[in-house]
Amino acid sequence: MPVISGKRAFLELLKQEGVEIIFGNPGTTELPLMDALAAEPGLRYVLGLQEAAVMAMADGYAQASGRLAVANVHVAPGLGNALGMLYDAQKAQAPILLTAGQHDQSFTFSEPVLWADLPTIARPFVKWAAEVRRLEDLPRAVHRAAKTALAPPTGPVFLSLPVDVLNAEADLDLGSPTRVAPGLRGDRAAIATAAALLAEAERPVIIAGDAVAQRRAHGELAALAEQLGAPVYAEGIANTASFPASHPLFRGAMVRLAPAIRSVLDQHDLLLSVGGDLFTLSLPSEVDPLPPSLAIIHLDLDAWEIGKNYAAKAAILGDPKASLPELSAALAERMSAEQRARAQTRGAATRHAIAGERAALVARARAEAAKAPIRPLALLQALGAMLPADAIVVEETISSAPGLRQLVRADDPQAFFGLRGGGIGWGLPAAIGVKLALPERPVVALIGDGSAMYTCQALWTAAHDRVGVVFVILNNRSYRILKQRTNAMKGFAAQTDRYIGMDITEPPIDYVGLARSLGLRGARSAVLAEAVELVRSALAESEPALIEIELDRSYAPV
């Protein structure tokens, strides 16, 4: 092999792993990498102006493409800034190689400015973390990192890259990538047990998790749901369209509060979770979300999630794409003629009930369409009716989201991306990553005003790289979700109508002015029809734009 520098070798290794884009924010320890990029036409560098935005862009790209995303940040403070969004990426199982420059190793024992033990900082939020100490180890480290990030269950990894390793030169064997095949089939005995339980169930229910979308298993799960005549819920904190929204058996997203989950599950005698979260809750409760008599079948690619909180009568470690057809076949063999007839009757009744619920939701949204200020439900319905069939929605609206999965069409596995981890500020930059991964599809980001201010620097990246996302800011001038939950406590705030630290007013933020200062076209509306038309027009332009929509600011139940 010819003599090659570490910085050039690193870029060659990334190209071997199929990487086309590096998301980054550079500092002094990244200068060798930036120098190498000046002579590298095969990789695109997307600059973000703050590390949290960089991390979320890489997250959106990884989720939308299913490929390895790469993010590069600057030593300890840069890594620290990225950690909140790295947490979200971990929860979303996004395959990301996060790297940070590190000081020259001859210098680090003196603990120079900005130095820290970087792998230790990253380790709680990644599958694997290491520092490359020798140039000779760089190929093995990069290939190991990429393999680990992409192996099921996927997730982020971290490498610290010292300056001296990147500047060193050697006759280096770059090696080659390894991919762990994801199509793991579930154990036959466990599938047989699951089929027997499903055949006997009188009132089964299905929770679809992100693994269904990630493994492109919509068709397989829909076939099983139709076979059972069972309703399907998306998991409560979903970051994908885990089931086609327009399917007549789709009942929307499971809520995150234990009493509400319990009221749903009390109606069923068997729960089939396909990659679903059982259950990450928003608040503690004296009510357990799971009825004690409810049997569970849990199929997942992540063994940690199976039986984590609730014992499963059938625990299947497997890929939904590979395992669901075998479960359907086993169920077909197991069901009697009477059980099949009962499933058909159950399915017809479920479809009828869901159709009624959807019609009532649309009617309520339309009834709110004439109200001013704009009500979130009316806006979601109007946007859902307007958006093209191939649109992708990236959502971080928090308190304005109820009803979104039923009202905004998301029928394919890449049609919807939401905030899984809960660390706000993800959605605005993530939409940029999604658009870069799927440039041929229109992308609309529905972002709450509070969330937007965490990573508003990403708007500059959208303008600079001409990433044609339409950012829709749903502005209620507050952290309304906090007001809602504080109000529910029935304490001092509810009695006095004083909510400390929850209003974004005095002065109000001019999001249109902010967008224009960062290079985007912007417009504002407080009228529903005009707001929807502004979004439609922005989509037609195929350029980045921001639409600020002024929403009703009320928070208490009516």
* The residue to which tokens 């030593």 are assigned: 75
- Whether 253 and 378 map to the same domain: the answer is no
What pLDDT, in 10s, does the model give residues 61-76?
Answer: 999 999 999 999 999 9
The DSSP code for 478 is: B
Residue 166 placed within a domain: yes
Which candidate, 296, 342, 328, 333, places its Cα nearest to that of 197?
A: 296
Q: What is the per-residue pLDDT for 418? A: 94
Shared domain check, 167 and 20: yes
Give the mean model confidence (pLDDT) for residues 191-216: 97
For residue range 418-449, what is the model confidence (pLDDT) as tens digits?
Answer: 998 889 999 999 999 999 999 999 999 999 99
In this structure, the answer to whether residues 395 and 289 fall within a common structural domain is no
Domain count, the chain: 3
Q: What percent of the chain lies above the pLDDT cut of 70?
A: 99
The CATH number that applies at residue 61 is 3.40.50.970
Q: Is 361 inside any structural domain? A: no
For the chain, the average pLDDT equals 95
Q: How confident is the model at residue 237 (pLDDT cuts 50, 70, 90)?
A: confident
Nearest to 478 by CA among 371, 377, 553: 553
Is residue 256 scored above 90 in pLDDT? no
Q: What are phi and psi of 134, to 5 degrees?
A: -135, 145
Name the strand (E) or helix (H) holding 485.
Answer: helix 480-488
272 and 164 fall within a common domain: no
How far is CA 296 from each of CA 178, 271, 311, rounded to the nearest angstrom?
35, 5, 7
Q: Which domain holds residue 27?
A: 3-171
The answer to whether residue 106 sits within a structural domain is yes
557 in any annotated domain: no
Nearest to 54 by CA among 13, 84, 33, 31: 84
- Within a domain: 121: yes
In this prediction, residue 557 has a pLDDT band, given cuts at 50, 70 and 90, of low
Q: What is the pLDDT of residues 454-489, one digit of tens each?
A: 999 999 999 999 999 999 999 999 999 899 889 888
The predicted structure's pLDDT at residue 3: 93
What are the backbone angles phi and psi of residue 7, rounded to the nearest 5°? -65, -40
Same domain, 420 and 480: yes
State yes or no: pLDDT of 195 exceeds 60: yes
pLDDT-derived band at 1 (thresholds 50, 70, 90) equals low
Q: How confident is the model at residue 398 (pLDDT cuts 50, 70, 90)?
A: confident
Using 50, 70 and 90 to split pLDDT, how confident is the model at 281? confident
Region 397-406: what's the mean pLDDT? 88
pLDDT of residue 180: 96
Query: Beta strands 3-5 and 169-171: pairing type?
Result: antiparallel
What pairs with residue 161 in β-bridges?
101
Q: Is 222 left (phi over 0), alpha (psi -120 to 50) or beta?
A: alpha
Q: Are residues 272 and 339 in the same domain?
A: yes
Q: Does position 343 have pLDDT exceeding 90, yes or no? A: yes
359 occurs within a structural domain? no
Q: What is the dihedral of CA 211, 213, 217, 220, to 10 degrees?
A: 100
What mean pLDDT is predicted for residues 239-258? 92
> Percent of the chain, pLDDT > 90?
91
Residue 230 maps to which CATH number?
Answer: 3.40.50.1220
Final residue before a domain boundary, out of 324, 351, 378? 351
Per-residue pLDDT of 121-177, as tens digits, reads 999 999 999 999 999 999 999 999 999 999 999 999 999 999 999 999 999 999 999
Quickly state the pLDDT bin for 556 (edges 50, 70, 90). confident
pLDDT digits (tens, 9 = 90+) for 73-126: 999 999 999 999 999 999 999 999 999 999 999 988 999 999 999 999 999 999
Rounded to two decimals, the pTM is 0.96
Q: What is the DSSP letter of 551?
A: B
Looking at the predicted structure, is the pLDDT value of residue 558 above 60? no
